[in-house]
């Protein structure tokens, strides 16, 4: 697992993908931050980080799209699957590598707040809450993205599929409020990533939400491993 994770991270940062993803995110963060905090003279830092988070939803599909599909396409999965490594280690290694790229971008996203702290005192509770929420929500999306990538050999399909899922999850709350059936509405609400994420943005740490996101990661890493295993039986 360690070897796979290390190799994947190196591959992100020895090719432009990792840098472009991180740089694009940071540029967008900086731009939006500048627009709202400076030009708009707003002090509502949580909403700024909220919007910044939605940018990263667009980048995650790009980070995850090649993680599994590329292996299948270039037949490098033969090296992984015939090595004395379990499928779960492979899936976990891949997930952690993608997550690391996202983690780097998100952590660097704290820079604006750090810069501001020289001149004022930002609401660190909200900033940290947003950061943790972003990591958890993003981590769940990364796991889903890696799983979708394992379903196809095409990076494009993997990226678009992950993007579609992330947009669907973003707007699932709207769907819940419009459903007339109460049971169905509750079920849809139960899936909602946003509700759980919002707790963090208010500067509160919700254990149940954290467990939820961690469970989503675990489930999709597990599904990715099952998917690898199932290919042997095709």
Partner 1 sequence: MVEVKNLTKRYGGNLALDDVSFTIEEGSIVGFLGPNGAGKSTTMNIITGYLSATSGEVSISGKSILDEPNEVKKLIGYLPEQPPLYKEMTVKEYLSFMYELKKVKLPKEQHLGEICRLVRIEDVTGRIIDNLSKGYKQRVGIAQALIGNPPVLILDEPTVGLDPKQIIEIRTLIKDLGQNHTVILSSHILPEVQAVCERIIVINNGRLVADGATDTLAHDLSQDHRLILRAEGPEEELLSAISQMEHVKEAVSLGEKEPGVFEISVEGEPDCDLRRDLFHLLSQKDWPLLALKNSDLTLEDLFLQLTSSDASHAAEDGEEPEAQEAEAAGETEEAPEESEASEAEEDPESDSERKSESESDM
Q: Which residues bind partner 1 (CB under 8 A)?
A: 2-4, 6-7, 10-11, 14-15, 74-86, 232-234
Q: Is 172 left (phi over 0), alpha (psi -120 to 50) or beta?
A: alpha
Task: DSSP letter for 39, please.
Answer: I
Could you tell me the smallest distance in angstroms from the CB atom of residue 230 to partner 1?
A: 10
Least CB distance from residue 153 to partner 1, whole Å?
Answer: 14
Please name the residue that has the structure tokens 């990364």.
142
- Minimum CB–partner distance for residue 11 and partner 1 (Å): 6
Nearest to 139 by CA among 101, 188, 165: 101
The string of DSSP letters for 138-180 reads HHHHHHHHHHHHHT-S-HHHHHHHHHHHHHHHHTHHHHHHH-S
Q: Given the complex with partner 1, which of 177 and 234 has the nearer CB atom?
A: 234
We find the least distance from the C-beta atom of residue 79 to partner 1, in angstroms, to be 4
Block residue for tokens 């199932």 = 230
Residue closer to partner 1 (CB basis): 10 or 186: 10
In whole angstroms, what is the distance from residue 141 CA to residue 154 CA? 19
Q: State in angstroms the smallest separation of the CB of 36 from partner 1.
A: 38
Residue 3 vs 167, nearer CB to partner 1:
3
CB nearer partner 1, residue 78 or residue 107: 78
Q: Which is nearer to partner 1, 47 or 76 (CB)?
A: 76
Residue 173 or residue 229: which is nearer to partner 1 going by CB? 229
Record the tokens describing residue 67, joined without a space: 């993680």
Q: Which residues contact 71 (CB under 8 A, 6 or more apart)?
A: 77, 80
Min dist. Cβ of residue 66 to partner 1 (A) = 11
How many whole angstroms separate alpha carbon 103 and alpha carbon 31? 20
């Amino acid at each position: 697992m360690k070897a796979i994770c290390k190799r994947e991270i190196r591959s992100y940062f020895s090719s432009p993908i990792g840098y472009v993803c991180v740089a694009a995110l940071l540029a967008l963060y900086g731009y939006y931050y500048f627009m709202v905090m400076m030009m708009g003279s707003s002090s509502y830092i949580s909403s700024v980080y909220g919007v910044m988070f939605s940018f990263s939803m667009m980048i995650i599909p790009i980070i995850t799209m090649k993680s599994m599909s590329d292996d299948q396409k270039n037949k490098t999965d033969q090296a992984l699957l015939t090595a004395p490594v379990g499928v779960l280690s492979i899936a976990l290694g891949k997930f952690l590598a993608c997550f690391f790229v996202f983690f780097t971008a998100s952590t660097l996203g704290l820079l604006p707040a750090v810069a501001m702290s020289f001149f004022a005192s930002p609401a660190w509770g909200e900033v940290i809450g947003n950061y943790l929420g972003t990591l958890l929500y993003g981590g769940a999306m990364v796991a889903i993205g890696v799983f979708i990538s394992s379903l196809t050999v095409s990076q494009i399909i993997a990226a678009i599929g992950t993007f579609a899922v992330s947009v669907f999850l973003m707007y699932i709350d709207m769907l819940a409020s419009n459903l007339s059936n109460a049971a169905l509405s509750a079920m849809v609400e139960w899936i909602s990533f946003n509700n759980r994420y919002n707790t963090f943005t208010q500067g509160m740490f919700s254990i149940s939400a954290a467990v939820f996101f961690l469970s989503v990661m675990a489930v999709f890493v597990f599904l990715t491993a099952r998917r690898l295993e199932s290919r042997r039986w095709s």
